[in-house]
Amino acid sequence: MNPATHIPWIASYLWLIPLLPFAAAGVSALLPQRCRKTSAGLAIGVIVVSTLLSFCALAESILHGLEPHAGRTWSAMQTHEVWHSLIEFTWFNYGTTSLKLGFVLDPLTAAMATMVSLVSALIFIYSLGYMSRDKNFTRFFTFLSLFAGAMLGLVVTNNLLLFFICWELVGLASYLLIGFWYHRPSAAAAAKKAFIVTKIGDTGFFAGLLWLYHATGTLQFYTPDHTGALEQVTALAGLPGIMGLSLAGTIALLIFCGAVGKSGQWPLHVWLPDAMEGPTPVSALIHAATMVAAGVFLVARTYPLFQASPQVLTLVAWIGAFTAIMAATIAVAQNDIKRILAYSTVSQLGYMVMGLGVGGMAAAMFHLLMHGFFKALLFLGAGSVIHGCHNEQDIFKMGGVKKHMPITFWTYFVGTLALAGIFPLAGFWSKDEVLTAAFRWGGGLHKGPFVLGCLGVFLTAFYMWRQVCLVFLGEYRGGKARAGHKHVGQEEAETHHETAPGVPHESPAVMTVPLIILAVFSAFMGFSGLPEHANFIHHFLNPEHAPHVVNWFVIGTASALAFAGLGAGHLLYGVKPLAPDEPDPLKAKLGKLRDFLRDKWYCDELYEATVVRFVRIAAVVVDLGDRLLDGVTVGLGLLARGVSFFNFKFDEQAINCGFDGGCGSVRVIGRCFAALQDGRVQSYLRLVAVTAAILAFWFFLK
Amino acid sequence: MTTLAHFQLLASMLFAVGLFGAVTRRNAIVVLLSIEIMFNAANLSLVAFWRYGPHPEQLSGVVFAIFGITIAAAEAAVGLALVIVIYRYYKSIEVDKMRSLKG
Amino acid sequence: MYNFFDQLILTLGAWVVGLVVACGNGVSKFCCGQPLSEAAAHNVAAGTEIVLICVTIYGVFALCFGLATWLERKMLARIQNRYGPNRVGPFGLFQFVADGVKMLTKEDIVPARADKLVHFLAPAVVLAPALLMFAFLPFGRNMAPTNLDTAVIAFFAVGAGSEMALFMAGWGSRNKYSILGAMRAVAQMISYEIPLVLAAVPVVMVVGSLSTSQIVAAQGADGFLDMSRWFVWTPWGFAGFILFLVAATAESNRCPFDLPEGESELVAGFHVEYSGFKFALFFMAEYIGMMAMAGLGVTLFLGGWHGPKLLPSWMWFMGKGFLIVCWLIWLRGTLPRLRVDQLMAFAWKAMLPFALFNIFTTAVWFHLPKATLLQSAVAWLVTAALVAAAYWVVSRFVCRRAGALRVYHYAS
Amino acid sequence: MDVTFIILSLITVVGAIWAVTLRNLIHGVLSLVLFFFGVAGFFFYLNADFVGWVQILVYVGAVAILAIFAIMLTHNLTAKDEPGFFSLRWLTGMAIAAAVGAVLWFAIKNNAAMLQTAPAGVTSSVADIGRKMMTDWVVPFEVVSLLLTAAMIGAIVIAMEQISHRK
């Protein structure tokens, strides 16, 4: 590693990127409810400044890569070095040790910060339109700013503790925003669920953090003198951990627990679809584009730990692959537009985790960045549709929206193709990278993730095209069946002034312009990661690994499967548009399997039957134990009574009256002791004082 | 010349006076104030130890006295607020009347 | 020449000390046949110095008190379009002497059911902190009575003692109006003490010392530019100064914060039952406390005795102090009295957050680079923007809450 | 033993004894203020100026005032049926206080280290105290500040609850 010879100016001002949104959150938390424009303006202005700073950081880190090789092209850039620029400061000293925090500027940070802040900025602007009718508008922007600040803080930090703090703050913001309409029981429950389920993972993360601190004595990722936690991996890899893993592997496993919780990987994925109870911009920002990616980012950040332990990497790969395929199958059978996208998110996150597991860190991060753009686009598009269709979320009650909302349709179309992985949109390149990495992972059983991934590609294309057909093509099926119908997860009426049924309408410009910008990014950003020699993003993010050559087999398979998925979807839903009350054609094709998928593989039920029931059983067992103890007590009591009965007889006959006096004195003593506990504080104080005095005297005299 | 023992004896005497008030008086406010006297006695003792101790540059006694004052202030605020609430509830602040915890 | 006037008082003091020591030597020779030993001479000199300082401060400020009462009556009269006192002396300047004589010769009335001891002690106790506060202020170059490491906090601690005195006055009188006025006064002074102290914190932060001498020294500059580094010219200093003035007005129970003595509701508040000389002591304590507050304001924000070298340093100090006193009198002449809830809301909802934010702003100022003129300008503008933003946010709150009309429920 | 020490001890001890024995609560609080001033005087005497000023600011300026407000708000100007001096209650209290005091006295008397005199040149500048608090004692400092915040909020909540119920 080359030590940073100079600190670029943007590195010393990196702290501004998270701090500005935090400050905005603080200020708008103090603003009264009616200062809507102020708080929104503040939040948006600040996030735009953060975005500009992030772009500066990106430019700086790109230019830094170019500098020593001036005049050369990217393909010739073979530094094999990861570049860091570090800023350290001491939070406080205690005794002889001090707690150091810091920020790091490296390609990973720059790329992630740019994506997060840009997507956040666009979503903030979009929220202006989407939330315009909500009476808690100010609070909403406060929470959004808090979230953005925490997320950006998590990205730029160079310290696992600060990372964890921001991580929890992100979780808090997510909790607040999912439960934004807290008066709705389902929203409150979803918020609670999200908080608790992710906390399960966070417990592991925290344990890993403590263990890492114990083992290395620092929580800085990198330090100028190369004693950072991530720079001591070789030492850690040599120490024994638990379950036959090395210490590095153990810590990596624990940290991965946090990532599983936050990034919605199996088995902790259950909170993410429920989190769609929040307002749609929140779903787009937090539960699609940025926060859920934090888990992937965490693994990418601590990747040296993972690299030191192949067993953990294998586990990561398999969990990712399994999540990818499971979520994709569930998405096929959902009806709620946001739920489909939610499962799609889980599935795509599975791809990223799989990419990390098979050693393609750059590929996974590339997919993360691209996914951030097109998934935000899709969610915002869905929000626009919901907004236009008067808070309808059931795709079987939509249809033909293309006519009424052309901009939304075309941007959504771009997003769909990008997600499905159609050449030459963003998803094509990034998914191809991940699959290539999976393909090259190994032979035999190690081909498993690749096969599952390919299957996932087919399903992704299928469910996305199903959605497009049902929502945008055909005739509008909403409107008449509305009266008396209870809508699943209906968005809050407060957001919308007109509740009367009618034809959908296009959303205002403040919502469509972000869509267009995101569509442009989704369409063209993929070219930053062209395979073959000019794989810029790969060099940029992970120059330590040699770039791989293009693999035509993978590209061909994936593309063919994607097109097959689109075709299958079109055959089922596109050729003959559905009538208003016609059931899902998939029901006939899949039968019972569809119900299985619709009910999410019965995961919630499984957890209900296992974890929750275990807790109940444990409660019963403890209760039984309690009763047992009670029984013993009662038994002893009976025994004592028996003995005392005998005693009584003995007493009566043998000792009789002489003993009664003794009994009486015992009673008196008992009364005296009972009198001690008279409920008066001062008596207790007297007792304490006298006892202390007596004990002290005894101590001195001894 | 004043020795450390003088200060410690004085502090223990003040402590005893405070303890007397705390165990004797019935009025809750006076009890709280007696506790403040005990706090002050402790602070005086700490500062005297600092002044006569072997490591005055560590300032431990002074810092502890400041912490003690802070904690005493917090105690007084909460305690007196409680007294007011108790008065509203029992219509009296005699500590003897508050005995619902009797065993 | 300048130095002569600047150090005139010190020179006079040294002369008196010398005189006393010489007299002591003379007396000693006369009695014991030998001059004073060195230690004894030193003790005599130190004692004389202390007595001299006390006498000077009390004399000067008692005179200032007299002048301030005259000034107040004259200014209020001018504001109300009348003449004010104009019979005793030129422009009625000796009115306060006449008043003093009147006060001293009046009957001293003690209510029958009064708590006699407390009633008797209160006027003395109320004056003591007001006078003691002057011990911590540097009045001019080399003219600090004490040079404490902890002067600022000592000033506030001594000021806290006057609350107890006001309560003693109100309680000891055994009068409903007195006790109501005293409770109001105590509540008000406690509430405004917090913004008062917080307004002083930025200065302490920037100087890095609680010593008033060092605070004044930090605001000094050379020659005729001796006013360029007063803290009041910085944005946070300006905001702090305004906060300090408002809080000081409330601390000294001056209009528009004079609810404890509101004539229309409480007759005269805590000193209803005092007459004659005791009343004069209360009166004196109020004015002297006000002047002490003005002195601290001058010390913290207006550069203390620093000023262009046209006037002696002590004149600068007194002049600036009297300027603040005039400002307070002007306020009294023009503003109506606040309501109790407005008063409290203003302290807790407007001044406290603003003062806290001002501390933050000062921290920003402290860390911004100020090496070159351009950097200083940038720092100035940034902090000014922060102060303005804080003012804007806080004022929106206050306008909505504290300014609202109160609904009275007579029947309920 | 010098004159300052004797005067200050008289002030503190008399103030403390009055504070715990006087029937008139207001007088009790006023003697308590006397006691606080005496202890502050001891702090000055021991070269701990800062603690002394903080003592006056906090105890006289806040705690005593708080106590007075509590007395006023509970209409408890005098302790009515307080038992007399020779009641069992007072004698018990005195015995207990004497016992504890005797233990402390015993401990101090039997310790040779207690007989040393004050070393010269021991001072506590505010800057040093601040530096210590921000370095060695930073964690307790943070904990105490948290406690103070919690106490403040707690006191407000406790006092406010009843107001809302009274409506």
Query: What distances in angstroms separate CA A178 from CA A192, A284, A286, D74, one per listed residue?
Result: 9, 12, 10, 47
Give every residue of chain B whose pLDDT is below 70, as ranges.
1, 101-103
Where residue D40 falls among pLDDT bands split at 50, 70, 90? very high
- CA dihedral (A231, A233, A235, A238) in degrees, to 10, reads -170
- Name the percent of chain C in helix, strand, coil, to the closest 5: 75, 0, 25
- CA dihedral (A461, A463, A465, A468) in degrees, to 10, reads -140
Q: What is the mean pLDDT of residues A31-59?
A: 84
Q: What is the mean pLDDT of residues A250-277?
A: 83
SS3 label, residue A87: strand
Calculate how close chain C gets to D73, using CA atoms only, in Å: 11
Domain membership of residue B101 (yes or no) is no
Where residue A494 falls among pLDDT bands split at 50, 70, 90? very low
Residue-wise burial string across A13-25, b where 16 or more C-beta atoms lie within 10 A, e elsewhere: ebbbbbbbbbebb
Q: Give yes or no for residue C170 having a pLDDT over 90.
A: no
Neighbours of chain B (3+ CB pairs under 8 A): A, D
Are A95 and A352 a contacting pair, CB within 8 Å?
Answer: no
Predicted pLDDT at C341: 75
Cβ separation of D53 and C150 shorter than 8 Å? yes
Q: How far apart are CA A582 and CA A570, in angstroms?
A: 17
Predicted pLDDT at A478: 64
Predicted pLDDT at A474: 73
Calculate how close chain D gets to B100, using CA atoms only, in Å: 20
Cβ count within 10 A of residue C375: 12
End-to-end C-alpha distance for chain C, whole angstroms = 73
Cβ separation of B62 and D9 shorter than 8 Å? no
Name the token pair of A98.
Answer: 């001090």
Cβ separation of B32 and D35 shorter than 8 Å? no
Q: What is the mean pLDDT of residues C85-100?
A: 85
Predicted pLDDT at A78: 42
State percent of chain A over pLDDT 90: 0
SS3 label, residue A105: strand
Where residue D75 falls among pLDDT bands split at 50, 70, 90? confident
Q: Does D151 touch chain A (CB under 8 A)?
A: no
DSSP string computed for C110-129: --TTS-HHHHHHHHHHHHHH
Q: Give yes or no for residue C33 having a pLDDT over 90.
A: no
Calculate how close chain C gets to D83, using CA atoms only, in Å: 23
Neighbours of chain D (3+ CB pairs under 8 A): A, B, C
Q: Which of A13, A30, A142 to mutate to test the interface with C (most CBs of C within 10 A)?
A: A30
Q: Which of B23, B31, B102 has its CB closest to that of A678? A: B102
Chain C residue numbers with beta carbons less than 8 Å from the beta carbon of A30 are 353, 393, 397
Cβ count within 10 A of residue A481: 14
Chain D residue numbers with beta carbons less than 8 Å from the beta carbon of B62 are 48, 50-51, 124, 129
Give the nearest chain B residue to A673 (CA atoms): B103
Residue at C387: amino acid letter: V
Helix axes D25-45, D64-73, angle to 10 degrees: 170
Domain membership of residue B76 (yes or no) is yes
Q: What is the mean pLDDT of residues D115-131?
A: 82
Where residue A158 falls among pLDDT bands split at 50, 70, 90? confident
Cβ separation of A32 and C393 shorter than 8 Å? no
Neighbours of chain A (3+ CB pairs under 8 A): B, C, D
Cβ separation of A697 and D106 shorter than 8 Å? yes
Number of domains in chain B: 1
Predicted pLDDT at A586: 67
Q: How far apart are CA C144 and CA C149, in angstroms?
A: 12
Sorted by where each begins, the domain ranges of chain C are: 1-105, 111-398
Where residue A484 falls among pLDDT bands split at 50, 70, 90? very low
Predicted pLDDT at B17: 92
Are D97 and B45 a contacting pair, CB within 8 Å?
Answer: no
State percent of chain C over pLDDT 70: 95
Instruction: Please list the residues that pair with A157 across neighbouring strands.
Output: A103
Name the token pair of C30.
Answer: 């006369």
Where residue D132 falls among pLDDT bands split at 50, 70, 90? confident
Where residue D31 falls among pLDDT bands split at 50, 70, 90? very high
**Total count of residues recorded for chain A:** 702
What is the Cα gyration radius of chain C? 24
Q: What is the mean pLDDT of residues A640-656?
A: 76
Q: Give yes or no for residue D153 having a pLDDT over 70.
A: yes
Measured at the alpha carbon of residue C109, what is the angle toward residues C107 and C113, in degrees to the nearest 5? 165
Q: Does C397 touch chain A (CB under 8 A)?
A: yes
Chain B residue numbers with beta carbons less than 8 Å from the beta carbon of D67 are 29, 32-33, 76, 80
Q: Give yes or no for residue C315 having a pLDDT over 80.
A: yes
CA D37 vs. chain centroid, Å, equals 10
Query: What distances in angstroms separate CA C121 from CA A40, A243, C156, one per listed residue?
Result: 59, 79, 22
Chain D residue numbers with beta carbons less than 8 Å from the beta carbon of B10 are 9, 12-13
Name the token pair of B23.
Answer: 């165990």
Give the nearest chain D residue to A697 (CA atoms): D103
Q: Which of D53, D58, D166 to mutate to test the interface with C (most CBs of C within 10 A)?
A: D53
Range of the domain at B30: 4-94
Q: Give yes or no for residue A80 having a pLDDT over 60.
A: no
Domain membership of residue B100 (yes or no) is no
Chain D residue numbers with beta carbons less than 8 Å from the beta carbon of B39 are none
Cβ separation of C393 and A31 shorter than 8 Å? yes
Q: Give yes or no for residue C263 having a pLDDT over 50.
A: yes
Upper half-sphere CA count for residue D110 (Cβ side, 13 Å): 10
Calculate how close chain B gets to D24, using CA atoms only, in Å: 11
Domain membership of residue B99 (yes or no) is no
Chain C residue numbers with beta carbons less than 8 Å from the beta carbon of D77 are none
Predicted pLDDT at C184: 84
Instruction: Please list the residues that pair with A159 across neighbouring strands.
Output: A220
Per the prediction, chain C carries an average pLDDT of 84
Q: Which of C364, C396, C401 to mutate to test the interface with A (most CBs of A within 10 A)?
A: C396
Q: Does D47 touch chain C (CB under 8 A)?
A: no
Q: Does D117 touch chain B (CB under 8 A)?
A: yes
Predicted pLDDT at A71: 39
Q: Which of A680, A684, A690 to mutate to test the interface with D (most CBs of D within 10 A)?
A: A690
Omega before C256 cis (within 30°)?
yes
Q: How far apart are CA A495 and CA A135, in angstroms?
A: 8
Q: How far apart are CA C96 and CA C84, in angstroms?
A: 13
Give the contacts of A378 (CB within 8 A, at least 6 positions apart).
A288, A341, A344, A412, A415, A416, A419
Where residue A354 falls among pLDDT bands split at 50, 70, 90? confident
Give the nearest chain A residue to B16 (CA atoms): A689
Cβ separation of B99 and A680 shorter than 8 Å? yes
Give the nearest chain D residue to C191 (CA atoms): D62
Cβ separation of C164 and D125 shorter than 8 Å? no
Cβ separation of B40 and D100 shorter than 8 Å? no
Please report which residue ranges of A157-290 form alpha helices under DSSP H.
160-178, 185-216, 233-238, 247-262, 271-274, 280-284
What pTM was computed for the model?
Answer: 0.64
Are A111 and A540 a contacting pair, CB within 8 Å?
Answer: yes
Predicted pLDDT at D11: 92
Q: How far apart are CA C203 and CA C201, in angstroms?
A: 5
Omega before C123 cis (within 30°)?
no
Predicted pLDDT at A443: 67
Per the prediction, chain A carries an average pLDDT of 77
Between D109 and A91, residue with greater pLDDT: D109
Are B57 and D125 a contacting pair, CB within 8 Å?
Answer: no
Q: What is the mean pLDDT of residues C304-325?
A: 85
Question: CATH number for the domain including B10?
Answer: 1.10.287.3510
Chain D residue numbers with beta carbons less than 8 Å from the beta carbon of A693 are 96, 99-100, 102-103
Q: What is the mean pLDDT of residues A507-519?
A: 81
Chain B residue numbers with beta carbons less than 8 Å from the beta carbon of D48 are 47, 50-51, 61-62, 65
Q: What is the mean pLDDT of residues C278-288?
A: 87
Cβ separation of A697 and D100 shorter than 8 Å? no
Domain membership of residue B9 (yes or no) is yes
Q: How far apart are CA A94 and CA D142, in angstroms?
A: 11
Q: Does D67 touch chain C (CB under 8 A)?
A: no
Q: How far apart are CA A611 and CA C348, in angstroms?
A: 50
Where is average pLDDT lowest: A345-349, A498-502, C199-203, C396-400?
A498-502
Q: What is the mean pLDDT of residues A628-636?
A: 84
End-to-end C-alpha distance for chain B, whole angstroms = 53
State percent of chain C over pLDDT 90: 7
Q: How far apart are CA C261 and CA C256, in angstroms?
A: 11
pLDDT in tens, A394-446: 777 777 777 778 888 888 888 888 888 777 777 787 888 788 888 877 766 77
Are A537 and A529 a contacting pair, CB within 8 Å?
Answer: yes
pLDDT in tens, A324-342: 888 888 888 777 888 888 8
Q: How far apart are CA A132 and CA D166, in angstroms?
A: 39
Neighbours of chain C (3+ CB pairs under 8 A): A, D
Calculate how close chain D gets to B28, using CA atoms only, in Å: 10
Q: Which of D26, D33, D62 has its CB closest to that of C171? A: D26
SS3 label, residue A393: coil
